Amino acid sequence: MLRKSLRGKITLYILAITVFIYSFFPIYWITISPLRGGDGFFTHSTALWPTAFDLTYFINIWNETNFPLYYKNSFIVAGATTIVTIIFSSLIAYVLTRFRFRGKSLLLNSMLIGYMLPQMLLAIPLLGIFISFGIEDSLTGLTIAHIALTLPFGVWMLNSFFKTIPFELEESAWMDGASRFQALYRVIVPLIIPGIISVGVFSFIVSFTDYTFGLMLVSSETNKTIPIGLAGIKESTSLQRGELLAGAAMIIVPMVILFSFVTKYFVKGLTSGAVKG
């Protein structure tokens, strides 16, 4: 019995390590490849560790293209999408769990319809709407399009969290003189921080790495984000694979840093929302 238990643990660890290597290796390879520099990129292209750390490719793509502008646009759009999604998904989820009104279930279920459709199908009508409002080819329009993707997920996740909060906590706050908003902000929100962090991480990643909406809704150079700008750099410049990999690495690094700080909350948010909801 003991041998079977030990054998099972060893097998589990081997599978976990295999999955980790399989998932992490492409990220690692994209990151270290441009660090080899001009000579090492071709002569030591198969080495698992760069022989010399050369930032030439990173400097080239940063100085010779509009990559800094793309970077700034991506952070602006992703940051705005994250903030708006957290605020509105929290309020909507609160209303759905604390108020009774006709069509509440229909509203909650219908919010996922747009999320399940391909982005290309959503981009076409959104473009027509943005043209009518004069916000086509703008960071504002792109942010709204991203919110259309992230808000349903945020509402569904936080809806599960709000259901786990006893209504008596709010009643106690009201008896102490707090308003409904004060009870929400001071009592309930601190209890659903893992869910809020999960929604924020999801929203930021979806917006920061989006390609379809950026391709369909943005055309001017000044409003392009990193994925669209990097694709344009590949087609319109003479930069080599090293610079393109450097650009890809600068897309991945913020995501890895973000996850390294909030992984605990993100996993807790996903599991809590799934089990308790």
Pairwise CA distance, residues 189 & 132, whole Å? 37
Q: Which of 193, 117, 199 is nearest to 155 (CA)?
A: 199
Confidence at residue 2, expressed as pLDDT on a 0 to 100 scale: 57
Interval 62-108: pLDDT, tens: 888 888 999 899 999 999 999 999 999 998 888 888 877 777 777 77
Confidence at residue 275, expressed as pLDDT on a 0 to 100 scale: 46
Pairwise CA distance, residues 246 & 188, whole Å? 43
Check whether 234 has a pLDDT greater than 80.
no
Q: Are 37 and 54 in contact (CB under 8 A)?
A: yes
Q: What are phi and psi of 51, to 5 degrees?
A: -75, -25
Which residue, chain included where needed, has tokens 């909650």? 108
Hey, CA dihedral for 50, 53, 56, 59, is it positive or negative? Answer: positive
Confidence at residue 270, expressed as pLDDT on a 0 to 100 scale: 58
Confidence at residue 277, expressed as pLDDT on a 0 to 100 scale: 43
140 phi-psi bin (left φ>0, alpha ψ -120 to 50, beta other) = alpha
Confidence at residue 76, expressed as pLDDT on a 0 to 100 scale: 95
Amino acid identity, position 213: F
Tokens matching residue 267: 């996993």
Interval 198-227: pLDDT, tens: 889 889 988 998 988 998 899 888 999 988
Check whether 255 has a pLDDT greater than 70.
yes
Dihedral angle, C-alpha 67, 70, 76, 81, nearest 10 °: -130
Confidence at residue 33, expressed as pLDDT on a 0 to 100 scale: 80
Q: How many CB atoms lie within 10 A of CB 62?
A: 17
> The pTM is what?
0.81
Element (H, E) at 189: none
Check whether 241 has a pLDDT greater than 90.
no
Confidence at residue 43, expressed as pLDDT on a 0 to 100 scale: 59
Cα 135 to Cα 151, 226, 233, distances in angstroms:
20, 20, 25
Average pLDDT value over all residues in the chain: 81
Task: Enumerate residues 6+ apart whose C-beta is below 8 A from 97.
Answer: 159, 162, 163
Q: Are 233 and 67 in contact (CB under 8 A)?
A: yes
Confidence at residue 202, expressed as pLDDT on a 0 to 100 scale: 87
The 3-state DSSP class for residue 215 equals helix
Pairwise CA distance, residues 39 & 168, whole Å? 67
Pairwise CA distance, residues 154 & 88, whole Å? 9
Tokens matching residue 238: 């003479």
Burial degree of 56 (CB within 10 A; 0-12, 13-18, 19+): middle
**∠ CA(65), CA(258), CA(187), 5° rounding?**
135
Tokens matching residue 134: 């004069």
